[in-house]
Amino acid sequence: MQGRRVAVTGLGVVAPCGVGVEAFWEGLCAPAPIGPRQIHRWDASAYFENPKEMRRTDRFTQLAVAAADEALAQAGDLAIDPSRLGTFIGTGVGGIETLETQIEVRLTKGERRVSPFLVPMMMTNAAAATLSMRHGWRGPCENTVTACAAGTHAIGNAARLVSNGYCDAVLAGGSEAPFTPTSVAGFSNMTALSTSGVSRPFDPRRDGFVMAEGCAVLVLEEWDLAQARGATIWGEILGSASTADAHHITAPAPGGRGAISCMRLALDDAGVAASDVAHINAHGTSTDKNDAAEATAIAEIFGTPGPIVTSTKGVTGHALGGAGALEAAAVLLAMQKQLIPPTAGHETLDPTLPKIDLVVGEPRAWTPGPTLSNSFGFGGHNGTLVIGAV
């Protein structure tokens, strides 16, 4: 990015493998679970003083509220003009739980019983709007809806608001709570979901993605302001890019050409050479075509075996519009811990794929350096972040 430097000064996570950044990290280094990745025994009441407000908030927004609370607690007192504070939260399907519930209400009880809060609960900008109102942040309040790339795009878009001088800090991330009977049936009937319930990125036995819910929120802050107030800086958003495959509504472009262009543009934006990249957190969904396209794209840009690669979806599953934010959080934690979590569920690299340096088995020690976080979504959306270590 050509403007002001963008620091990450807060990080909050709500995920099936752990609620809170430390629990999330422990989960990333644990064995792969089996089955859908849901947050069991979720209790939103801990984050809402008013039970009525909680009931009028869809689950995907509740997750964003919890993650943002943790991120802001870490960031500390920003003491910034509220008109210079923004919110940017991505999602794929937004308040789909509310929508499906209220459709059932209409069909069984009639139109007059449909909740008047249906629209504000289901709308995809509800999470961003809720965080803005909750914390009094009056700058740009927006959201990105680009399927599985939404979280990555939201962080990239938010970083530009800071870099270009429109905001001094932005709450940025992605949130998703997609588990409804119709949603699961739709993904299952299109044969996108794993029938084994195991996510096996880049493994020859991979048989689809394991659906997940979750949210991560980052506090992005202008670097000099963060340093001046003595904030703890987790990392730096060096650059980002967004491209379209313009090929197919669900399948990636042949040879990973969209992913190739996206990663190259992100590196150019960050001013980072391919040879300087130390790590890639892959999109790595455990689907046949996506893993093949991404491995091919990585090899095209970085050669073989290239940088250290992991797919944290082996543990987290695929949280759709929340996935990119969760993976950005995983990168920042890997930098802090100086360990890269393994690709859980993976046993053998698919011999038909280019050889990539995939972390398997145990976390791998590394010297943190420029890292790519990739997200590729239905609709041909490609997103890449370049994250720098402190």
Catalytic residues: 148, 283, 318
Query: Distance (Å, rounded) from C-alpha 215 to C-alpha 200?
Result: 22
Q: Which residues pair with 209 in a beta bridge?
A: 193
Q: What is the DSSP string of 150-198?
A: HHHHHHHHHHHHHHTTS-SEEEEEEEE----HHHHHHHHHTT-B-SSS-
Distances (CA, A) of 1 to 36, 96, 161, 376: 37, 35, 11, 21
Q: Which token pair is 242? A: 């967004």
253 within 8 A of 247, measured Cβ to Cβ: yes
Task: State the DSSP string of 320-373.
Answer: GGGHHHHHHHHHHHHHHHTEE---TT--S--TTSPP-EE--SS-EE-----EEE
Q: Report how far residue 173's alpha carbon sits from residue 68's, in angstroms, rounded to the nearest whole number.
A: 9
32 three-state secondary structure? coil
CA distance 115 to 134: 22
Transcribe 231-279 into DSSP letters: PPP-EEEEEEEEEE--S-SSSPPGGGHHHHHHHHHHHHHHT--GGG--E
Q: For the CA atoms of 237, 243, 325, 121, what is the dihedral angle to 10 degrees?
A: 130
The encoded tokens of residue 7 equal 């620091």
SS3 of 102, please? Answer: helix
